[in-house]
Structure 1
Amino acid sequence: MARYAVNATGTKKLVADLRVADRVHAAFTAEPGEVLAVIGPNGAGKSSLLHALAGLVDVDGSAVLGGIDMLRTPVRERRVGLVFQGQLLFPHLSALDNVAFGRRARGEGRQAAEAVARDWLERFGIAELAGRKPRELSGGQAQRVAIARALATDPDVLLLDEPFTGLDVSVQMALRLELGRHLRDFPGIALLVTHDAIDALTLSDRVLVLDDGRVAQVGPPAEVAAEPRTRHVARLVGLNLVPDGDDLIAFTPDAVTVSLHEPEGSSRLRWQGPIATVAPHGDAVRLMVHASPDLLADLTPAAAAELGLVPGKEVWLSAKATAVSRYGAREGAAPTGR
């Protein structure tokens, strides 16, 4: 059996310009075989974007795939696979019937649909669970069934809405590896909504950043991680981000020096504010300081104890100009040096 059926539209680019009420207005493209991670803070419109493509919410605009506007196509005729967070399997159906459901709904015969479903359960290593109902499955097993159900329909577009949410860390790691393997072979387009930097960095070909319902940044994962243009993304990848006119300044918490008095030297950037939190971070102590904007600083436990750092204490933060990355605040703006 072929690993995937290549559909007429599955080898074409997706060109979308979507408007969901007053919550989302996002224009983007995605290439065949590409995994596009969609990240952003809560309320940015990530799930609304996926639900618009799936036909689950009212939407204006267009989403053209292979010369056909998906938004003008009846929902049941769209070749879209959707994986929700929390599995959402049909509780009265077995794992096998859940995976076969999409093909059966398209009119395919039971025997053929079940053959494809068994193949997908085998690929995810859960063939022996074919007869179990969702209530008899663990969270990881149920999510494997949910992903298999979406892929079994040979979709042109695979929509993954935080597929690892609610799973144990070890289960997340195993499922991430499995999903990554299948996505590498998938000839269609995959959109992955995630809150996890690991997902965006390891599973995607490009990252689309939503902020307040608008596209704030699009690019390869390494590029977005190195030069984030929103504070949410900077936090995801562990960077401080400070606006400076038309530029942004990014730097790591361990590049920050903490002191009780204003530092000397014109080569240093400096900020002042009260400590919000003090917490262990690996071998270091991490401070969150309300310094307009909030900044992170890492220092050794010995240094933290010597300075008597506790929440509420006023401190100065500084960083050498040579330790920060400076680049344009807008997409496509040229960097202005290091």
Structure 2
Amino acid sequence: MTGLHADLTVPGRLVAQVHAAPGRVVAVIGPNGAGKSTLLGALAGTVAATGRVEVGGRDWTDLPVRERRLGVVFQDRSLFPHLRAHEDVAFGLRTRGVPRRDAERRARDWLDRLGVGDLAERRPAELSGGQAQRVAIARALATEPDLLLLDEPFAGLDVGVATGLRIELARHLAAYAGVVLLVTHDALDALTLADEVLVLDEGRVVQTGSPREVAAHPRTEHVARLVGLNVVREGETLRSFAPSAVTVSPRGAGSGPAPTSARNRWAGRVAALAPHGDAVRLLVTTTRGPELIADVTPAAAVELGLDPGAEVWLSVKETAVQTDSMRP
């Protein structure tokens, strides 16, 4: 297999080049409307596009959808409501010419691998969201596709269910020989499942790199916020910094004079606070600029009276600020 090589244009919606070696997982991230679903549809052949798509050394450009060695897992699972789980998984195999008995055996084997073999006789209405998604993943992997498209596979699942499924999926993807494109809004998916990250914004690829590279040097506001950084935009430049780098001090009567430097100091009001690991995370609405987040110790939160509505100063040392251009 030679992986994925695509150069696609969907007029008014997408202009993208995508390259990935066999066995690689590419996380596709970006804000709503960035073109993520359009990209998946263009690769699958369900969205009309110009350009070229090559997968596994085979030209897919004009290939009908049914002839593409493709697996897809949708947000809503898209299981057939009238089929039992084993029948649903076997369906894709049967459409590729696998004899019924072999298709049934392989379907049940994949259900066992995904931990839902005991649910093989159930229909979708009898499955939980997590169980249904495991069946959908089994269906996609059972056909041994050259390209696997995962469209937010953990969306709508409880945190605990999503965590278990993420671990299970990572194990199977580690042994998968094809190329995976994973559309996600969750930084954890990109950091734990992906080998590479592709960032889309307004229908164009604006950044690629390893998960750590993209997280350390985000080139869009969406990515910076996705990985939990504060973002201050200055023209075409992003200045980002971690919540732990923010110093919080009280503001108002009896709290001392206002700071004199303006660049990395903001006046604001605590909008909300919540536990965050060993810290307390504050959401602060500033009087000039964006909402910012800051992490303080529980003791500091009590000592400084950081309740909702409290007026505060936020400050960040220049050495803690990362500056990046927004576009390549």
State how far apart, in whole Å, the 2-side matches of 1:198 and 1:44 are.
20
Structure 1 residues 321 and 274: alpha-carbon distance in aligned structure 2, compared to 1, 3 A threshold: closer
1:298 matched to 2:298? The reply is no
What are the Cα deviations for residues 5-58 of structure 1, in whole angstroms up to 9, with x where unaligned? Answer: xxxxxx212111222231222212111100000111112111121122112222
- State whether residues 18 and 59 of structure 1, in contact with CA within 8 Å, keep that contact through their aligned partners in structure 2: yes
Amino acid at match of 1:35: V
1:140 matched to 2:130? The reply is yes
- State whether residues 86 and 108 of structure 2, in contact with CA within 8 Å, keep that contact through their aligned partners in structure 1: yes
Amino acid at match of 2:305: A
Q: SS where residue 63 of structure 1 aligns? A: strand
1:197 matched to 2:187? The reply is yes
Q: SS where residue 29 of structure 1 aligns? A: strand
Structure 1 residues 293 and 61: alpha-carbon distance in aligned structure 2, compared to 1, 3 A threshold: farther
1:323 matched to 2:320? The reply is yes
Amino acid at match of 2:289: S
**Match in the other structure for 2:283:** 287
State how far apart, in whole Å, the 2-side matches of 1:137 and 1:231 are.
38
**Match in the other structure for 1:278:** 272
**Match in the other structure for 2:254:** none
Structure 1 position 293, deviation (Å): 3.9
- State whether residues 218 and 324 of structure 2, in contact with CA within 8 Å, keep that contact through their aligned partners in structure 1: no
- State whether residues 287 and 298 of structure 1, in contact with CA within 8 Å, keep that contact through their aligned partners in structure 2: no
Amino acid at match of 1:120: W
State how far apart, in whole Å, the 2-side matches of 1:165 and 1:309 are.
31
State how far apart, in whole Å, the 1-side matches of 2:59 and 2:232 are.
40
**Match in the other structure for 1:155:** 145
State how far apart, in whole Å, the 1-side matches of 2:233 and 2:111 are.
49
Amino acid at match of 1:209: V
* Selected match of 1:178 from 165, 168, 190: 168
State how far apart, in whole Å, the 2-side matches of 1:295 and 1:67 are.
47
State how far apart, in whole Å, the 2-side matches of 1:149 and 1:103 are.
9
State how far apart, in whole Å, the 2-side matches of 1:58 and 1:65 are.
17
Structure 1 residues 285 and 32: alpha-carbon distance in aligned structure 2, compared to 1, 3 A threshold: closer
State how far apart, in whole Å, the 2-side matches of 1:145 and 1:115 are.
15
- State whether residues 285 and 304 of structure 1, in contact with CA within 8 Å, keep that contact through their aligned partners in structure 2: no
State how far apart, in whole Å, the 2-side matches of 1:242 and 1:252 are.
12
State how far apart, in whole Å, the 2-side matches of 1:165 and 1:279 are.
25
State how far apart, in whole Å, the 2-side matches of 1:189 and 1:298 are.
38
State how far apart, in whole Å, the 2-side matches of 1:210 and 1:271 are.
31
State how far apart, in whole Å, the 2-side matches of 1:80 and 1:163 are.
16
Amino acid at match of 1:320: K
**Match in the other structure for 2:62:** 72
State how far apart, in whole Å, the 2-side matches of 1:80 and 1:288 are.
46
What are the Cα deviations for residues 281-315 of structure 1, in whole angstroms up to 9, with x where unaligned? Answer: 42314123343344323344235526x7618x5x5
RMSD across aligned C-alpha pairs, in angstroms?
2.2
Structure 1 residues 220 and 302: alpha-carbon distance in aligned structure 2, compared to 1, 3 A threshold: same
- State whether residues 263 and 318 of structure 1, in contact with CA within 8 Å, keep that contact through their aligned partners in structure 2: no
Q: SS where residue 71 of structure 1 aligns? A: coil
Structure 1 position 207, deviation (Å): 0.8
State how far apart, in whole Å, the 2-side matches of 1:281 and 1:216 are.
34
**Match in the other structure for 2:242:** 252
- Which 5+ residue runs of structure 1 have no aligned equivalent? 1-10, 332-338
Q: Structure 2 length as normaliser, TM-score?
A: 0.88
Q: Structure 1 length as normaliser, TM-score?
A: 0.86
State how far apart, in whole Å, the 2-side matches of 1:244 and 1:139 are.
42
Structure 1 position 271, deviation (Å): 4.2
Structure 1 residues 166 and 285: alpha-carbon distance in aligned structure 2, compared to 1, 3 A threshold: closer
**Match in the other structure for 2:259:** 263
Structure 1 position 130, deviation (Å): 1.5
State how far apart, in whole Å, the 2-side matches of 1:180 and 1:288 are.
36
Q: State the number of aligned residues.
A: 316
Structure 1 position 100, deviation (Å): 0.7
Matches within 5 A, 1:1-338: 11-244=1-234, 247-259=237-249, 260=251, 262-264=258-260, 269-272=263-266, 274-275=268-269, 277-282=271-276, 283-290=279-286, 291-299=288-296, 300-302=300-302, 304-305=304-305, 310=309, 316-331=313-328
State how far apart, in whole Å, the 1-side matches of 2:116 and 2:235 are.
55
**Match in the other structure for 1:3:** none
Q: SS where residue 176 of structure 1 aligns? A: helix
Q: SS where residue 54 of structure 2 aligns? A: strand
Structure 1 residues 52 and 253: alpha-carbon distance in aligned structure 2, compared to 1, 3 A threshold: same
